[in-house]
Structure 1
Amino acid sequence: MHSKSTYGTIAVKTAVLLIAALLLFAPFLFQDVRALEVAARICIFIVLVASYDLLIGYTGIVSFAHTMFFGFGAYGAAIALRQMGPGWDAVAIGALAGVLVSLVVATGVGLLSLRVKAIFFAMITLATASVALVLASQLSQFTGGEDGITYRVPDLFKPATKLMVDETGKVARLFGVKLNGKLAAYYFVFFTSLALFLLMLRVVAAPLGSVLKAIRENEARAEAIGYRVVAYRTFVFCLSAAVASLAGTIYAVWLKYTGPDTTLSFAIMIDILLMVVIGGMGTMWGAVVGAVLMVMAQYYLRDLMGAAAETTANIPLLPDLLDPDRWLFWLGIIFILLVYFFPRGITGTIMQKGARL
């Protein structure tokens, strides 16, 4: 029988498993193009947010360069696919190039900057990310500039590809869903994202996770008992950068387009920060909850507000307040309420309250 101190953790893990099951069967449960786009984006952002949680939640490193590494992976795949054609070799070389560039930059920034105070490191990463964004816009012969790059992906992921055919020679269906390249592309996103997330779970469950928490709680004490704090911080910064780069490659393959707004934008960095805070820092499970809530709000809050405005059309003031154009205002209100009622994030607060029973 489980002790009461584990009830919060059990509740969080149950919710995460339910989300995983919904994402696994999303193409069959939600049979429209938009829903599949939302599910794929959730999968990718879970990985991106979890890799950032390794930094801010487990090690106490505040970085504003996470989207830069995400962009390196996306642009690596995009440039390789455009130059080499739609083959798996291009995807592999692009992913490898993105990871290598991310590791070189992360190592350089980490070794030069992680010795300084947190706020100075944050500013250095912000400056580095800004340089990457400017270079992506100006090196148009490689990156496509502001217009970005469009390219073809491996034939397996083309919507016209038939994974299975029926007796008439048409693409087969399973529960009404076409077994075509779009379905293959989604499951490529799902399973690669799942593998990366499980890898990060393994990292934080290993002794390394305890060392990172010790550094976060008291850097001087960790240094005093023999841990090389700068080396550990640089290592986790590089690991986080590599995972973010791979997430960028996955996103590039899914989207078939890579540009500054889709991978390097500072708005994406703000989204990642919000997802970490909403879900709960230093839990890893919080990445799942935060990514799901934030992406769902970005895609469906306007629709929900539009329906609410129509329903309350005869009530004074309410339709104006619920105008879909004010969705960002309401998203801000919801965020403030979540921070107030869940100060450690949703998963962090639930796990903490479960431990107090």
Structure 2
Amino acid sequence: MSVLRSLLSHDMPRSRWLAALLLVAVFGLALTPFLFPGIKALNVAAKILVFIVLVASYDLLLGYTGIVSFAHTMFFGIGAYGIAIASSRMEPGWTAVAVGLGASLLLSLGLSLLIGLFSLRVKAIFFAMITLAVASAFLGLASQLSDLTGGEDGLNFQVPELLRPSTEFLEEPWLGASIDGRFASYYLLFFSALGLLLLMLRIVNSPFGRVLQAIRENDFRAEAIGYRSVVYRTLSNVLAALFACCAGAMLALWLRYNGPDTSLSMELMLDVLLITVIGGMGTLYGAVLGSVLFMLAQNYLQELMKLGAGLVEGVPVLAQLIAPERWLLWLGLLFVLAVYHFPSGIVGRLRAAALQHRSGGH
């Protein structure tokens, strides 16, 4: 138990239901290749892992520091393009991956530092507008520099041989899972996501993380006791950008492709914002539960509606409402209800319920 506490930086779930849901999510993702061997299930699980890192990195900004930024997916795109450009221009292999990741981390560091230093002195709404303008400019640049980025078509590239789907480690499936390059890629993503999430937990539960939360709660009081809020906000912006860049690299390695719509679109930014709010701001566990819920709903709601439509076939209004092509309407409705009933997010609601139960018990 003490090892687990240390791994989680003493930030325990504090709710039995939350602990149970997190265990189901972690073990479900860890065993996906064996439990759900289909290609679609593996793709969904891989995207969940990428989104866990991306959403958790955004929560460093929004939930822990109180910064609203619309340029977060720009750093996600930089990470993905770093891998794509290096792998398509160099000999495909681990050297290209290392060069691409290193270059994209350096670019993310420089850009996030510039944005932080020049923009975080202005009021919150103006900072949000500045980041939106920067993100839009970067998206336009990525679409137009076709010689470098592949333009609107994006870039297809080869990954190291170990991660290629054609690489087979065992001729026969083992425990129902094909042990091939895709299997290796999935577990590279799983352990990367796990390591990055534990590192972020360590950061937010360190003295530095406590200062970020103090700035979020009361900027003037934090300044009064000697903390330079601009410095801490800038550092938070830089850290969030670097983690988002790693998430982008993970996505590129999994898809073996990257384009503007894949990693830089505004829809992606809105998804990240929505998952952060649904999971619970200011708690990295919310990134895990929110990403799992969002990705499962986005990928399987339409199939559930097909089953429902078959059951109510012939019923005039109901058959139209449950038609599979209206899945986006129901997805939107589900998330509106989730935000309405869980204003502090899923994690916040579960922790509040556990605290209330303990108080009632005494």
* TM-score, with structure 2 as normaliser: 0.94
Identity percentage over the alignment? 54
Query: Aligned ranges for residues 134-283 of structure 1 at < 5 Å?
Result: 134-164=140-170, 171-283=171-283
Q: Which letter maps to 1:158?
A: R
Asked whether the equivalents of residues 79 and 246 of structure 2 are also in contact (C-alpha less than 8 Å), the reply is yes
Distance 2:325 2:163 in 1: 35
Name the structure 1 match of 2:68: 62
Name the structure 1 match of 2:3: none
Query: Aligned ranges for residues 1-357 of structure 1 at < 5 Å?
Result: 8-164=14-170, 171-357=171-357
Asked whether the equivalents of residues 13 and 285 of structure 1 are also in contact (C-alpha less than 8 Å), the reply is no
Structure 1's consecutive aligned runs of 4 or more residues displaced over 2 angstroms after TM superposition are 6-11
Distance 2:283 2:33 in 1: 28
Distance 2:151 2:164 in 1: 26
Partner secondary structure for residue 173 of structure 1: coil
- Provide, for residues 267-323 of structure 1, a one-character-per-residue CA deviation record: whole Å limited to 9, x for no partner: 000000110011010011000011011111111111111111111113221110011
1:255 is displaced (CA, Å) by 0.3
1:182 is displaced (CA, Å) by 1.1
Asked whether the equivalents of residues 7 and 354 of structure 1 are also in contact (C-alpha less than 8 Å), the reply is no
- Provide, for residues 179-229 of structure 1, a one-character-per-residue CA deviation record: whole Å limited to 9, x for no partner: 111101111111111111111011111112211110000000000000010
Stretch deviating more after TM superposition (124-133 or 347-356): 347-356
Name the structure 1 match of 2:360: none
Distance 1:7 1:284 in 2: 10
Asked whether the equivalents of residues 7 and 355 of structure 1 are also in contact (C-alpha less than 8 Å), the reply is no
Gaps in structure 2 of 5+ consecutive residues: 1-11, 358-362
* TM-score, with structure 1 as normaliser: 0.95
1:8 is displaced (CA, Å) by 4.9
- Provide, for residues 34-61 of structure 1, a one-character-per-residue CA deviation record: whole Å limited to 9, x for no partner: 0000000000000000000000000000
Partner secondary structure for residue 317 of structure 1: helix
Distance 1:329 1:138 in 2: 33
Asked whether the equivalents of residues 77 and 264 of structure 2 are also in contact (C-alpha less than 8 Å), the reply is yes
Asked whether the equivalents of residues 13 and 19 of structure 2 are also in contact (C-alpha less than 8 Å), the reply is no
Partner secondary structure for residue 346 of structure 1: helix
Distance 1:18 1:178 in 2: 23
Asked whether the equivalents of residues 74 and 258 of structure 1 are also in contact (C-alpha less than 8 Å), the reply is yes
Q: Which letter maps to 1:29?
A: L
Asked whether the equivalents of residues 8 and 352 of structure 1 are also in contact (C-alpha less than 8 Å), the reply is no
Name the structure 2 match of 1:3: none
- Provide, for residues 83-131 of structure 1, a one-character-per-residue CA deviation record: whole Å limited to 9, x for no partner: 1121101001101111111110100000001011100000000000001
